[in-house]
Amino acid sequence: MLDRRLFLAYCSTLGLGSTLFPGALYAKAQAEGEITTEAIAAAEQIAGLTFTEAQREMMVEDLNERLEDYAAMRAVALPNSVRPALVFDPRVSGMLPPSGESHLAWTSPPIQRPADDETLAFLTVAELASLVKSRQVTATELTELYLARLKKYDPVLQAVVTLTEDRAREQASRADAEISAGNWRGPLHGIPYGAKDLLAVRGYKTTWGAMPYRDQVIDTDAAVVEKLEAAGAVLVAKLTLGALAWGDVWYDGTTKNPWNIEEGSSGSSAGPGAAVAAGLVGFALGSETLGSIVSPSTRNGVTGHRPTFGTVSKYGAMALSWSMDKLGPMARAAEDCALIYHAIHGQDARDPSTLSVPFAYDAGRDVTGLRVGFLEAAFSEDYDNREADAQTLAVLRGLGIEPVPMKLPDDLPVGAMLLVLEVEAAAAFDELTRTGGTDLMVRQEKNAWPHVFRTARMVPAVEYVQANRLRTLLMQRMVEVMRDVDVFVTPSFGGGSLRITNLTGHPSITVPNAFHPLEDAAGAARRRPASISFVGGLYQDADVLALAAAYQHATDFHRQRPPIR
């Protein structure tokens, strides 16, 4: 007799959910104890195929044998940390990483300690580093300041999963001792930060924001956490993310936007965005697969850097899409992101997607030599932030840069290629779906992972491969586009850039460029932040960061503070 669970699982692999499969046909299969030609014919409709009866007859035996293969594979435990044998590589496009050595040309800015701690909490990483290096403030003072702010504002913002107080105080004390002895490790030494709770930290929970994993402890430190510890940074909190890296709803609430606590902080790097904006940490680490740094950076009015794919190790991070996940900094300023990226980038044998790529950043660089483009069609559309985005181009012109009009590839089905993300995510959480664990998650609507995981099981394997082949064409098209520019400017959600560049692995930085008053705001201080994004060529993160830093030196949007009410 054919096992019902096994049969339904098989139907899922063919593209048939139990609700799509006629009850009479299942009963017939039960009685016959095998997959039939009728089952194959029904599956053809889902896959968009047509076979003859003779072809179906020829397929039946092999398909029934594969039921045993699927059962054998599912009997092997596959934790989220086990990656596929295939590795996404942006070099397939033909664009190779630059040669040379990494270096950071940066000088501590002259600054005096502010008279009040509120102002101190909102300083940039560069400014905090200067104060720590000159011993105007200690790492312990900063750590206690940010821990106090986390405790004060988290009941409102719901941005914290776990405070890492013991670890933080130990790291801060060590930093103070080293700095007092004249051993300053660099600009992150003694600077408190928060990590998105998909990054493993030894001795603390790593919940991935989802109810099924709320008590999960992973006995390792993520590679980026290791690197930041080596740089002397102080981890004060593990910050919220939308469940399994989607949205701002996690198992214990909704993370709020400090500029307007009646709305969420967007996601999935919801906690990092809210915490940085509210001055609860010096900086944070987020992640992006399809907008999870860009979107919360926009909503919360902070600066977020999505690095080139493969330049930052994902070891110890939750896998959502092995070929699209990126880890990056979220901070007050682009220069901060450069300091953080310098510390976390690099090859890691534990993450085979990483490469040894030099990062040469000069804080005093003359950016007028950069070839800058702008997505002409996107800027021409009618959208809310159009005036502010046009003003951004005007600021660049005032810096001696003349952005040239350009466009992105428009001859490929980019939306269809995103099935890559859905299929990889469904594979990453296959066991959770098959065991009913997704039923424990808070969000159960159409635009949520439980539904997407189930739907993705309907995608034929051949179509997943074909989507990746189309992705190769898209990457090759982008190489041609980037031959004429070093960086291009785009509305953060316009022109198709977000989808395209997440598929191709290009770096970007998103910076605030407007704070729109809310007409119906409960308090006059409430605003709606808006942003613009700078996108660079593969492995050219330094260009992107330098241009964004120059823009921020000419403006003060990144200096704004939210009302947190």
> What residues are labeled active site?
196, 268, 292
69 SS3 class: helix
352 SS3 class: coil
Question: Cα(406)–Cα(209) distance, rounded to whole angstroms?
Answer: 39
Angle at CA of residue 286, ends 371 and 429, nearest 5°: 120
Q: Containing H/E element for 357?
A: none
383 to each of 291, 388, 512, 530, how far by Cα in Å?
19, 11, 16, 12
Contact 262, 218 (CB under 8 A): no
Residue 172, token pair as written in the block = 């801060």
223 to each of 90, 329, 350, how far by Cα in Å?
21, 14, 9
Length of the chain counted residue by residue: 565
For residue 447, how many other CB atoms are within 10 A of its CB? 9
Question: Cα(92)–Cα(119) distance, rounded to whole angstroms?
Answer: 47
Contact 537, 95 (CB under 8 A): yes
369 to each of 20, 96, 294, 334, how far by Cα in Å?
59, 22, 26, 19
Give 79: exposed, middle or buried? Use CB within 10 Å, 0-12, 13-18, 19+: exposed
Is residue 268 reached through a cis peptide bond, with omega within 30 degrees of 0 on the bond before it? yes
Residue 306, token pair as written in the block = 């999505």
| DSSP-derived secondary structure for 274-307 | HHHHTTSSSEEEEEESSSTTHHHHHHHT-EEEEP
Contact 530, 384 (CB under 8 A): yes
Residue 378, token pair as written in the block = 């996107």
SS (H, E, C) 302-318: CEEEECCCCCECCCCEC
End-to-end CA distance of the chain: 62
Partners of 103 in beta bridges: 360
How far is Cα of residue 259 from the mean position of the Cα atoms in its chain? 22
97 SS3 class: coil
Question: Cα(354)–Cα(458) distance, rounded to whole angstroms?
Answer: 31
Residue type, 104: L
Q: Checking phi first, is residue 279 left (phi over 0); if not, alpha (psi -120 to 50) or beta?
A: left
235 SS3 class: strand
